[in-house]
Amino acid sequence: MARLRRARAAVSGFLNVRKPAGVTSHHCVAVVRKIFNTTEVGHAGTLDPMATGVLVMAMGRATKFLQYLVSDKEYRGVVRFGVTTSTDDITGDMLSERPAPWLTEETVSSQLPKFIGAIDQIPPKVSALKRDGKRYYELARANKDFDVKPRRVQIHGIDLLQFTGGEFPEATIDVSCGAGTYIRSIAREWGEGLLLPSSTEYVGGTLVSLERTRSGSFAFEDSLEFDTIRSQLEAGESPVCPIEDGVRHLPCVFLSNEAVDRWFKGGVVRLREQEVQSSLSLPFEALTHEMTLRIYDPTARFLGVSQVEQLHPSRKFILRKRAFIE
């Protein structure tokens, strides 16, 4: 038990949790807080209660770095056609049933290209988005009538893995997308694009299951169930990833000891091209305003991240906004 308490003490880093079905993301945060005996816990993107898979947790100083993680995500979902629900997934109230045994794999796959790229997506009415200070799901549960505004999202790709025909056909898909994308909305809009024979009515669709298979650099195969996390801590092992692991996608720069001292003290750090040309991981010309860089000291110790500001024609730049690992 003493070993477990030591493992919990002052922990900072990322935890790749394998969320189970039937619980909220907030509940998972509460479980992690209890396991590690800390209140400083956040996560990198909500999963609906029915969904499973990767839920990246940040603890301690890592909560300051959530905004710097890769926001792209990957999902595997099953869509059922011929059914619509109040939540756009199988947990909601049934709104309509329209058997569609005539649907084929070719018919449903022909609709997928319209979802690829930057699209305007209408979020589900039962969601955590806000309107006039109220969550959508609060308005929906109060039977309030309200319009849902489209949101611009980025979908990199959708692969149809399996199609199962029948009275209510189902399709299994892999989706790669940017932050803020609702797979439930894809299910609904996919079904709305399929019309009944000789009719203007649509078939409809709803999401039956969903698993997040990747969140940024955190993959499903590396995710841990709560029991595994507890077991590793009991064995004196750490299930927590260093903060640095979550931001390795960012370019980096090595600072001199003098610049490190100024950076830590919150002072202005001005860097000329000749000072960093051998320690910058990308060409000086590739630097852009507000680009985030990993910061290292001369001994290659990771210190945190900082944003580029005020690029000058005289081949120098300033580091201002920063997040420290300590």
Digit-coded pLDDT (tens) for 124-142: 987 777 777 777 777 777 7
Cβ(252)–Cβ(295) below 8 Å = yes
**Catalytic positions:** 48
Q: Two tokens at 276?
A: 């960093």
Confidence at residue 314, expressed as pLDDT on a 0 to 100 scale = 65
Strand pairing class (52-59; 13-19): antiparallel
Please give the residue that has the higher pLDDT: either 267 or 225: 225
pLDDT digits (tens, 9 = 90+) for 307-326: 988 777 667 788 877 788 77
- pTM value is 0.90
Query: What's the average model confidence in pLDDT over 232-249?
Result: 96
Query: What's the average model confidence in pLDDT over 221-225?
Result: 98
**What is d(CA 60, CA 36) in angstroms, rounded to the nearest whole number?**
10
Query: What's the average model confidence in pLDDT over 1-5?
Result: 46
**What is d(CA 195, CA 81) in angstroms, rounded to the nearest whole number?**
11
Residue 3 has pLDDT above 70, yes or no: no
**What is d(CA 165, CA 171) in angstroms, rounded to the nearest whole number?**
9
Query: What's the average model confidence in pLDDT over 288-298?
Result: 92
Cβ(96)–Cβ(202) below 8 Å = no
What one-character DSSP code corresponds to residue 265? T
Residue 42 has pLDDT above 90, yes or no: yes
Which helix (H) or strand (E) segment is 319 a member of? strand 316-324
**What is d(CA 319, CA 300) in angstroms, rounded to the nearest whole number?**
18
Cβ(90)–Cβ(50) below 8 Å = yes
Vertex 213: Cα angle to 156 and 158 (nearest 5): 30
- 45-50's contacts with Cβ under 8 Å and 24+ in sequence apart are 45/71, 45/73, 45/179, 45/215, 46/128, 47/19, 47/210, 47/212, 48/89, 48/184, 48/210, 49/21, 49/22, 49/23, 49/24, 49/91, 50/21, 50/22, 50/89, 50/90, 50/91, 50/209, 50/210
Domains of the chain: 2-68+216-242 (3.30.2350.10), 73-215 (3.30.2350.10), 250-324 (2.30.130.10)
**What is d(CA 295, CA 280) in angstroms, rounded to the nearest whole number?**
10
Question: What is the maximal distance between C-alpha atoms in the chain?
Answer: 75
Q: Percentage of residues in the chain with pLDDT exceeding 70?
A: 96
